[in-house]
Structure 1
């Protein structure tokens, strides 16, 4: 049954249609995989195998009648804890919240259910989704399947761990500064952050996106038929658009592709990461693209302004909590947030304006290029029990210099594996496109994957 874990969404749907494999039989294989790997990676929250069996059985019956609900009917999917699912509390990754069951599905979960996907679990995240780590005051410590001593990244930590461990083909994360792409890069997954509003979210916020995390580009593209339907609850939701997400063929001859190797600020780029990204760029050049070295769009002032604004906003969110509840927040996050108490209104406004400066700088850059290549993560890995790659609340965002600008500019961006470090850890290549060019980013990603990008051999559960 372990062989079934490698099947793509397209493979599974073909089996379901032909009657050679049922959704219930496939779920049994996934459940077996979870039983073997979950005690080690601890990726899941609110895991309900009995409910998953029920959903899979219903899907099996629909396929037997040749009446699937949609393009993901019978496909097991996990949803990040921050994405509400009806009847399940949304702890926001922290022990400080009241665990009240959600009254309705958030947009992504609602679309998945409408199309018959088997939502079998939520996935873990750190406190309030404010870390690139699997560390949380509420959830178990999520670990990287490639090496259990290492961090999967975050804040879509559990989604990354679940995807790399083989808990089904599709996992939904959220991303406001890199929270889909960063963990995807550190775990070898393909992570896609679409244009703002392409996949509706609730609550929405500037730069906040939901996106698929998968083992292949095609699986992420296929999920977009479901996830990209508009939802009135997201005021940034894009209007309906007929996009053939399976049209992944493209030609890069003559395409002007920027290569951004310097982050502009934050952690310096690890030589192994630089080498892997340069090799990827060379492959695009050999295919006829014009590779143009470009300067970073981020500055120290922009990143520090973002830090001040988010500290102030978050302190405003938690200031009214009782001392007891505040004390239950992960100390790293609480220490970071307390800095927001001293931020003046003027400083917070200036910090917000730095976000707009990122948007402008990104827009200026894309007047001279058609796409961009860069690292996703500046470093190879860091310990599982660290709160961030610096593990220092005074330096919380030093690792997001390559990813956060594209949230602020609403541009689509993806992470795809482009190699491994000497220590055996995955390295991510970021591919960024112009605003609304979501399909083009998927096409470029698929082209790179066809040249040998992505991961071919995935981690297996430790042998007892």
Structure 2
């Protein structure tokens, strides 16, 4: 029998409807499971059991009246720390930020509350979200449930760890260069970085997207139904579109006749490790056996593009840090200070040339993908790395060498998902990235679900250490 904390959202909602389970007993089970896991992985911020139980009791009363509030009523959920929740401080993962209560829920948090979700906790992130790890000067070090010596990825570090560990079925993260997909890959879960503007967010920023982090495509599709509702605060959001998110399940037949590009070389950054390459190649063969045509792709990113984006982000962060009082600036993670301050001597011409790489990345990505229905690749060139490291290279002057597969789809505004496609010999998950044309978010979900149906059997989710 499946434990309550492991049940997907669809099953919970059906049980609430049939009155075979209540949101209170499910929330109690999730909180008890978090209590067992949390000392080992430290995924949460503002874990407040009594507040969660109060929400669950309100949900239970609505279900007993036959009046559920929305599509997620009573489902335990978490929200990434940088998505504002009314009355709570938003430290952005760093001890340098003043803890000021947020005046209002940001759009993703507002949509979850409106849908009746039980917000169990917020989840951790590294300083300013600028690392693909759980290393933070504000939060305790977050770790990977599959191997607590490893990190969960970032910057949606706690969200990835929480989903893999079973802190309820629904989690929200954000992504500007891979921050949803990298933790999803390294924690063996599913995540969708939607088309830019599909999910309203505040504040909006070029390439920045919020998205679901779940164990299944089905639960992500359910979240998209809620999160994609309009919000005028996002000046970059897409016009609202009534997408049939419930039509994510078209079966393995959805792959038949598709022309899918296979990208095994990002063209920049670290080389793909053999176990990762082999897992993605096996995934491609499974798709081919299901009727897709797989076409090898040449790399379309360059090291100059990756370096340019890196240098522009360094200058942005340098300016932000220089604006802080010295005492607060000194609290920022030294790795990030070294990275940001390396931009201090850049000229205006150099900053412009660096910023231009965002546009070149966009143009190259769209052009390369235009010949295909979908593109598959590794999410990252390696599996999860040592938890204490800020990045795989541990070098603040080479910090983004692992995002060559993910960042182009932020700049091209295309939807891209991570779905587990295998494991290393040591048992670490490996993510397959599936990218689609701009606005084809539902298609990416359908292809990812088709792959779920044909992939090799999945291993049991990790369990908290005994004692």
TM over 0.5: yes
Alpha-carbon distance in structure 1 between the residues aligned to 2:345 and 2:317: 12
Within 5 Å, which residues of 2 pair with 1:435-450? 435-450=438-453
- Structure 1 residues 240 and 98: CA distance shift in structure 2, 3 A: same
Residue ranges of structure 1 left out of the alignment (5+ in a row): none
Alpha-carbon offset, residue 452 of structure 1: 2.9
Q: Which residue of 2 aligns with 1:152?
A: 152
1:19 and 2:22 aligned: no
8 A Cα contact 1:417 1:453, kept in partner: no
Which structure 2 residue ranges, 5 or more long, are not aligned?
none
Give the match's secondary structure for 1:149: coil
SS at match of 1:108: helix
Alpha-carbon displacement from aligned partner over 1:299-356 (angstroms, at most 9, x marks no partner) = 0110110011101111111212122111110000010010121222222221111011
Aligned to 2:303: 300
Give CA deviations for 1:25-74 in whole Å, capped at 9, x if unaligned.
10011011011001110000011110000000000000111111110111
1:420 paired residue among 418, 423, 428: 423
In the other structure, the counterpart of 1:102 is 102
SS at match of 1:212: strand
Aligned position for 2:172: 172
* Separation in 1, partners of 2:336, 2:103: 28
Instruction: Please state whether the residue corresponding to 2:382 is helix, strand or coil.
Output: coil
SS at match of 1:380: coil
Per-residue deviation, 1:236: 1.4
1:83 — aligned with what? 83
Alignment of 1:55-70 (within 5 A): 55-70=55-70
- Tell me if structure 2 keeps the 8 A contact 1:216–1:454: no
Aligned with residue 269 of structure 2, among 237, 248, 266: 266
With 1-10 and 445-454 compared, the bigger mean Cα shift is at 1-10
Residue deviations 1:360-397, cap 9 Å, x none? Answer: 01111122111000000101221100001111101010
Distance 1:47 1:101 in 2: 16
Whether contact under 8 Å (1:257, 1:369) holds in the other structure is: yes
Q: Distance in 2 between matches of 1:440 and 1:447?
A: 10
- 2:256 pairs with 1:253: yes
Q: TM-score, normalised by structure 1?
A: 0.98
Q: In the alignment, does 2:285 pair up with 1:282?
A: yes
Within 1, Cα distance between the matches of 2:129 and 2:254? 38
Q: Distance in 1 between matches of 2:60 and 2:17?
A: 10
**SS in structure 1 at match of 2:405:** coil
The offset of 1:455, in angstroms, is 3.8
Q: For 1:53, what is the secondary structure of its paired residue?
A: helix
Contact between 1:188 and 1:455, CA under 8 Å: does it hold in 2? no
What CA distance in whole angstroms lies between the structure 2 residues aligned with 1:63 and 1:382?
Answer: 44
Match of 1:312 among 315, 329, 354: 315
Does structure 1 conserve the Cα–Cα contact (< 8 Å) formed by 2:373 and 2:436? yes
Where does residue 214 of structure 1 map in the other structure? Answer: 214
Of stretches 55-64 and 319-328 in structure 1, the one that deviates more from structure 2 is: 319-328
Change (3 A) 1:441 1:453: farther
Once residues 397 and 455 of structure 2 are traced to their aligned partners in structure 1, the CA distance between those partners, rounded to angstroms, is 39
2:139 matched to 1:139? Answer: yes
CA distance in 1, matches of 2:323, 2:261: 46
Which SS does the other structure have where 2:246 is aligned? coil
TM-score, normalising length: structure 2: 0.98
Which residue of 2 is the match for residue 461 of structure 1? 464
Residue in structure 2 matched with residue 203 of structure 1 by the alignment: 203
CA 1:50/1:96 → structure 2, altered by over 3 Å: closer, same or farther? same
Aligned residue number for residue 381 of structure 1: 384
Give the Cα–Cα distance (whole angstroms) in 2 for the partners of residues 367 and 260 of structure 1. Answer: 14
Give per-residue Cα distances to partners, 1:225-265, cap 9 Å, x unaligned: 11001111111111121111111215222211000000101
The verdict on how the C-alpha distance between 1:2 and 1:99 changes in structure 2, with shifts beyond 3 A counting, is: farther
| 1:392 aligned residue (390, 395, 402) | 395
Query: In 2, distance between residues paired with 1:238 and 1:462?
Result: 44
The answer to whether the 8 A contact 2:86-2:104 is kept is yes
Q: Deviations over 1:414-435 (max 9, x none)?
A: 0000000011100000000000
Counterpart CA distance in 2 for 1:2 and 1:317 is: 47
Alignment partner for residue 366 of structure 1, among 366, 369, 373?
A: 369
- For 1:31 and 1:99, the matched residues in 2 are separated by 26
SS at match of 1:69: coil
Q: Kindly tell me: are residues 394 and 454 of structure 1, through their superposed partners in 2, closer, same or farther at Cα, counting changes over 3 Å?
A: farther
Instruction: Give the Cα–Cα distance (whole angstroms) in 1 for the partners of residues 427 and 161 of structure 2.
Output: 16
Deviations 1:128-151 (Å, cap 9, x if unpaired)?
A: 000000000010000000000001
Question: What CA distance in whole angstroms lies between the structure 1 residues aligned with 2:225 and 2:239?
Answer: 14
Cα drift, residue 454 of structure 1: 7.7
**May I ask how many residue pairs the two structures share in their alignment?**
464
Instruction: Give the structure 2 partner of residue 336 of structure 1.
Output: 339
